[in-house]
Amino acid sequence: MTSTARLLAIVLIGLALLLSVVPGPASAAPGPAAEDDEGGTEKLRRDLDKATAGYNNARAKAQASQKRRAALINQIAGAEKRITVLEEQVQELSAAAYRRGLPDPATAMANSRSLPDLIGNVGLVDSLTRQRTKTLDDLVDTRADLVAARRGVDAELAKQRTEEKTMRRRRDDAERALAAAKVGGQKSGGFTSDGENRDVPAATGNGSPAAPEKKTTRKKTRKATAAPRRGDGSYGSEGCSQDDPTSGGCLTPRTLHALQQTKAAGFTRYVHCFRQASFGEHPKGRACDFAAAPGGFGGAATGGDRAYGNRLAAWFVDNADRLGVLYVIWYRQIWLPGSGWRAYQRGGDPSSAHTNHVHLSVQ
């Protein structure tokens, strides 16, 4: 190789090395307005997660305070009855002592004519004294318990009102998030457990209510078993630690519990939970898509398939508190705790419009 060729080769190698360390244009990351494959946006999912989880936890804490307050009120009623009984006993003992001219032990001994008489007099004095002292002590303690219980009722009522304010704020946050994402957000009819849909024009997107499915007589669907909670009644954060039986991914314990309870209630058609995505609950193991058709996701559900989806969506709502539901999406509608069913008109294909599957997101 000539010197000129060697020089040219060195220059080319140098340029190649230089280009290899110069950063190229960054790939476009999904921004706040980017849509996922189910018609939502990153910001909407994030806002709904925060708002509805906050609502659920505040509601649980409010319910726990209400329950503790009810227990304290029962305790107060019991203490008041106990105080009435003890006051009557004190009066009876005082009257008995007065009638008998209750002496002190030394006087009782001096006035005793015999040993049996002495034992009887001293025993009576001791018995009445101890009984009266115990009754007075019980009365003092019960009155103290009553005061503490009344203070506890006031404290729990204050906690309950604080959490109820949080619930209202979080509910409003969720509704604002829907409006900002331009997915509708108007009140809609929802669905019934017997397979009917109660769509209103805002939810159907075609200007007229959808025809209700034909009613059929069905067995009462079983209620879900409640998922474990924290001591204050709220749901704690969970990681994606359980194997997902519907995919090769993972689920949180609460999502797996919801999946198992759904199947136990008789909803056994095709379902897929975990999947890789840029955002949303699916990659966190906190969401499942339940197909309306037995064979999987297809076109928009009609007839019996739609009735199946209606029943499933209604069952999720009926058991939302037991399962820790964040929201349910089905047939252009979304259910949020505190807000109920709202219009959700994002995307035209069956998956984005949720007309071929019921989406469940769990806290």
What percentage of the chain carries pLDDT values higher than 90?
A: 44
Residue ranges of domains in the chain: 63-169, 183-215+236-362
Per the prediction, the chain carries an average pLDDT of: 79
The alpha-helical segments, DSSP class H, found in the chain are 3-21, 42-100, 105-110, 115-180, 201-204, 253-264, 303-318, 320-323, 350-353
Report the pLDDT value the prediction gives residue 39, as an integer from 0 to 100: 64
Report the pLDDT value the prediction gives residue 247, as an integer from 0 to 100: 95
Look at the block and give the residue holding tokens 């999987």: 296
Per-residue pLDDT tens over the stretch 337-349: 999 999 998 777 8
* The architecture CATH gives domain 183-215+236-362: 2-Layer Sandwich (3.30)
Please state the rounded mean pLDDT for residues 257-277.
96
- Taking the CB of residue 352, how many other CB atoms lie within 10 A of it? 18
Residue type, 323: L
Report the pLDDT value the prediction gives residue 13, as an integer from 0 to 100: 40
pTM above 0.85, yes or no: no
- 112 pLDDT above the threshold of 60: no
Per-residue pLDDT tens over the stretch 243-263: 999 999 999 999 999 999 999
